[in-house]
Amino acid sequence: MPSFAKRLIDWQASHGRRDLPWQQTTDPYRVWLSEIMLQQTQVATVIGYYTRFLERFPSLEALAAAPVEDVMVLWSGLGYYARARNLHACARTLVLQHGGLFPRDPAALARLPGIGRSTANAIAVFCFGARAPILDGNVKRLLCRYLGIAGFPGTPAVESRLWQDAAALLPAEQVAAYIQAQMDMGATICTRRQPRCPACPVGDRCVARNAQRVAELPTPRPRKVLPERTVTLLILRAENFVLLETRPPAGIWGGLLSLPELPVGSEAVDYCVRQLGVHVSAVAPAPTFSHGFTHFRLHIQPLHCVAEIQPRLAEPALRWVRMDELAQTALPAPIRAILTAIP
């Protein structure tokens, strides 16, 4: 009877995806870029970003030579911005310490900035012919159902078992086709919602399907009440300019431009003059905007402020940006939405 791996490889040959822009290549730069962008992000969202990114940075050397601010502009709206900072840091590390070449060994790849075990293994498999398992979200879901593994996959014990089982199921040959088949199966057949079990090439051996537990597995993340935060952001408009502030490297929206935040208990006009060095003549509230993060929900109260452009601002992180240049500015998606809504 054909093995799990053989069935997936045969299925991949007839039904696997072949039209994604990062497929049909063994270029580690392109494979690495796609793997980083696809972390916690849907394929449909990534495609446009991936294409635009390669147009601006067609090579590892081009990415390493660029200012990190240019990288953040192209990443704006994709979320999880630490990925972009690590991507840039990794490119520079590869150029400066590895001669612009990706290591072939998965363990060496995993020591680079922003590259974890699964991403390192994927690069090594697709680009260098390594024999190594991966554990992205699609593969975790497929294995949890097929093997009947209960427990949230994000816990150390369950993840450790998944790594062991993923390694044990590896075929001796055609590893790249097998790994691609796992990812494609999770994306098109063994989906999170409404999985297409009748079309599954290993459905007859699937523990979850045979036990009617497909809806239960993998075990979802334990539910917890997300904390809520509220901030007041200042939309300081002066003619066709808006005042933006570079966020600190760490924390949410790290390294991106955002609207200045009004500290709790401060009065807007006084704060603008004393702390920002900007004179304001009128202040009016705008509709509250809410945005969900992984660990909390943020409620933003914008304040529209009519301001006067000052040639010298109080902080080096502040800058005036033309409204018609915002499309080329590294802004978080919620801030872009707020500014786009300005009449």
Tens digit of each residue's pLDDT (9 = 90 or more) over 131-173? 999 999 999 999 999 999 999 999 999 999 999 999 999 999 9
Beta strands in the chain (DSSP E): 228-238, 241-246, 257-258, 261-262, 280-285, 289-292, 297-307, 318-322
* In contact, 292 and 299? CB cutoff 8 Å: no
Same domain? 168 vs 44: yes
Which of 290, 285, 282 is closest to 303 using CA atoms? 285
Can you tell me the distance from the alpha carbon of 321 to that of 237, in angstroms, rounded to the nearest whole number?
Answer: 10
Task: Let me know if residue 218 belongs to a domain.
Answer: no
Same domain? 192 vs 140: yes
Q: What confidence score (pLDDT) does residue 251 get?
A: 79
Task: Determine the Cα angle at 271 with ends 267 and 274, to 5°.
Answer: 140
Task: Let me know if residue 217 belongs to a domain.
Answer: no
Locus of tokens 């992205």 = 136
Same domain? 137 vs 27: yes
The CATH number given to whatever domain includes residue 302 is 3.90.79.10
- For residues 77-101, give the mean pLDDT: 94
Task: Let me know if residue 205 belongs to a domain.
Answer: yes
Same domain? 49 vs 180: yes
Tokens of 342: 């300005």
Q: Answer yes or no: is pLDDT of 45 > 90.
A: yes
Q: Let me know if 228 is a catalytic residue.
A: no
pLDDT tens-place string over residues 13-44:
999 999 899 988 999 999 999 999 999 888 99
Can you tell me the distance from the alpha carbon of 258 to that of 244, in angstroms, rounded to the nearest whole number?
Answer: 5
Q: Does an H or E element contain 11, and which?
A: helix 4-15
Between 75 and 254, the higher pLDDT residue: 75
Same domain? 74 vs 154: yes
In DSSP terms, 305 is beta-bridged to 236, 283
Which residue type, as a one-letter code, is found at position 219? Answer: T
User: What domain count does the chain have?
Assistant: 2
Q: What confidence score (pLDDT) does residue 225 get?
A: 83
pLDDT tens-place string over residues 202-257:
999 999 999 999 999 999 988 888 899 999 999 999 989 999 999 988 778 888 89
Task: Let me know if residue 336 belongs to a domain.
Answer: yes
User: Among residues 35, 216, 228, 267, which one is catalytic?
Assistant: 35
Same domain? 146 vs 265: no
Q: In this prediction, what percent of the chain has a pLDDT beyond 90?
A: 78
Task: Let me know if residue 220 belongs to a domain.
Answer: no
Same domain? 201 vs 254: no
The whole domain housing 294 covers 228-340
The CATH number given to whatever domain includes residue 186 is 1.10.340.30
Same domain? 197 vs 234: no
Q: What confidence score (pLDDT) does residue 239 get?
A: 86
Whole-prediction pTM: 0.85
- At 321, the pLDDT band (50, 70, 90 cuts) reads very high
Decide which of 160, 180, 210 is a domain's last residue. 210
Task: Let me know if residue 93 belongs to a domain.
Answer: yes
In our burial notation (b when 16+ CB lie closer than 10 A, e otherwise), range 144-173 reads bbbbbbeeebeeeebeebbbebbeebebee
Decide which of 210, 243, 275 is a domain's last residue. 210
Task: Let me know if residue 223 belongs to a domain.
Answer: no
Same domain? 206 vs 235: no
Q: Answer yes or no: is pLDDT of 1 > 70.
A: no
